[in-house]
Amino acid sequence: MLFLIVAPVVLGGLFLLMLRVRRSAAPTLGWIPAARWERTDEVITDPFTDEAIRVWIDPEDGSRHYVPERFPSGRKRE
């Protein structure tokens, strides 16, 4: 009988934890260029953070994507 009370609480806690991890990881997706994007020579400086931002182009639709040159930890990316 105790299982009927504990199981939903544990499952609910795991679900909330999963949502929190997913939300915290979502902003980092913009830091990784897609495989089909082409790197350009254009680098701009974000006026709010003074961070170098690389411009990438998606050749399929011509859209521009802005990806930081460095990860938040300070490691330089290729």
Picking from 24-28, 69-73, 74-78, which range would have the lowest pLDDT averaged per residue? 74-78
pTM of the full predicted structure?
0.51
Nearest-angstrom CA–CA distance, 75 and 57: 23
pLDDT in tens, 23-59: 655 455 556 788 899 999 999 998 888 889 899 999 9
- Determine how many CB atoms are found less than 10 A away from the CB of residue 68: 15
Give bridge partners of residue 44 from the DSSP assignment.
53
In the chain, domain spans: 1-31, 32-78
